[in-house]
Amino acid sequence: MTSTTATGRGGVRTSPRPGAPRITSRLREAAVGYGFLAPNLILMAVFLFWPILWAIGLSFQETKGFGDPEWVGLDNYAKLVGDPVFWQSLWNTVVLTVFTVPIDMIGGLGLAVLLNSVLPGRGVFRTIIVLPMVISGVASGMIAVIIFYQSTGIINKTLLALGLPAVEWQSGSIPAMLSVIIASIWLRIGFNMIIYLAGLQGISPELYEAARIDGASRWQQFRSITVPLVGPSTFFLLIMNVIASFQAFDLIFVMTGGGPGYSTSVLGTYAYRNGFQIREQGYGAAIGVVLLVITLAFTYIQWRTSRTRDLVE
């Protein structure tokens, strides 16, 4: 990527007309550059950077009811440490991530390999598996509510008809979490498949031919050619999936609202609950800041480890 950038700009760097004053031309180019960026930078400054600073400020304040906000230092963060619901929400967020991300990625890669091979009706299968990606989290959540409905939902009725016990999707903590995990995977696996399909298409078929001539089995080819060569896709997907999972909100908010109790409460829904339902805005902001720090830390570690790996290889 870096090399492309250099070539991209290299041509512009040379003075356009021989004899034209270099410095003026450079100044003009810089002015045009900032001018082109201005609409975006203004929007981001007003609607992203300023609110972030504000949110960090809020996380050091207490705003209860209609009184003026009060500076309370680290009280909100101290409260977080002693709040069992916060720890449960963090734990649930980790559980959601640990279960959905590997299944999304391994399943996505498996489906990509399957639907990259010769298969009748391959295009139809691809379309179907990608389709949930365009469905909103809210609509998906509503469908999930009906399917997992405990008393008269289609899954439990089918289980009963098969002579199996019904599952407590709504009243049981673990089944409720499981239903959220299943719905999240349904919503995201198509995205993983598409990214891996694009990655697979970048692998030269000659590599597989050479491996076959050397007598490598299918599994060996998969392990030694496919997996390493879709590495950039894996890196990208790991970051995207983990972020999406840590910031999960729509689907869970609609499906369970964090319940029963707090058994499916995640950081995203708990921050919303504090910020807008209980109206402890300072506390909600503190949860948001924790979410941001975790996200940034993860991205940074991922980025560092992948750079190191690139250097080693």
Q: Tell the smallest beta-carbon distance from residue 120 to other proteins (Å).
A: 7
> 229-268: which residues touch other proteins (CB under 8 A)?
232-233, 236-237, 243, 246-247, 249-250, 253-254, 267-268
Q: Counting contacts by CB under 8 A, is residue 197 touching other proteins?
A: yes
Q: Which of 106, 158, 223, 310 binds other proteins (CB under 8 A)?
A: 158
Q: Which of 160, 210, 278, 301 binds other proteins (CB under 8 A)?
A: 160
Q: Counting contacts by CB under 8 A, is residue 13 touching other proteins?
A: yes
Nearer to other proteins, 78 or 128 (CB): 128
Q: Going residue by residue from 272 to 301, which x/- string records binding to other proteins, judged by CB under 8 A?
A: x--xx----x--xx-xxx-xx--xx--x--
Q: Tell the smallest beta-carbon distance from residue 104 to other proteins (Å).
A: 13
Q: Which of 65, 67, 121, 163 binds other proteins (CB under 8 A)?
A: 121
Nearer to other proteins, 147 or 178 (CB): 147
> 51-90: which residues touch other proteins (CB under 8 A)?
51-52, 54-55, 58
- Pick from 240, 235, 232: nearest CA to 97: 240
What whole-number distance in Å separates Cα of residue 186 and Cα of residue 111?
13
Q: Tell the smallest beta-carbon distance from residue 133 to other proteins (Å).
A: 8
What whole-number distance in Å separates Cα of residue 255 and Cα of residue 241?
20
Q: Which residue stretch of 72-80, 92-100, 173-181, 271-279 sits at the interface with other proteins (rule: CB under 8 A)? A: 271-279
Buried b (16+ CB within 10 A) or exposed e, 27-51: eeeeeeeeeeeeeeeeeeeeeeeee
Q: Which of 106, 154, 174, 278 binds other proteins (CB under 8 A)?
A: 154
Which tokens hold the place of 188? 């995201």
Determine the distance from the C-alpha atom of residue 160 to the mean position of all C-alpha atoms in its chain, rounded to a whole number.
36
Which tokens hold the place of 136? 């909103």
Q: Counting contacts by CB under 8 A, is residue 147 touching other proteins?
A: yes
Asked whether the beta carbons of 223 and 52 are under 8 A apart, the reply is no
Q: Which residue stretch of 72-80, 93-101, 131-139, 173-181 sits at the interface with other proteins (rule: CB under 8 A)? A: 131-139
Return the amino acid letter for 93: T
- The torsion angles phi and psi of 62, rounded to 5 degrees, stand at -120, 125
The alpha carbon dihedral of 134, 234, 96, 58 has a sign of negative
Buried b (16+ CB within 10 A) or exposed e, 93-110: bebbbebbbebbbebbbe
Determine the distance from the C-alpha atom of residue 25 to the mean position of all C-alpha atoms in its chain, rounded to a whole number.
43
Count the site residues for other proteins by CB under 8 A. Answer: 117
Q: Tell the smallest beta-carbon distance from residue 33 to other proteins (Å).
A: 4
Q: Which of 139, 210, 227, 301 binds other proteins (CB under 8 A)?
A: 139
Between the alpha carbon of residue 81 and those of residues 78, 84, 286, 295, the distances in Å are 5, 8, 11, 19
Tell me the Cα Rg of the chain.
25
Q: Counting contacts by CB under 8 A, is residue 24 touching other proteins?
A: no
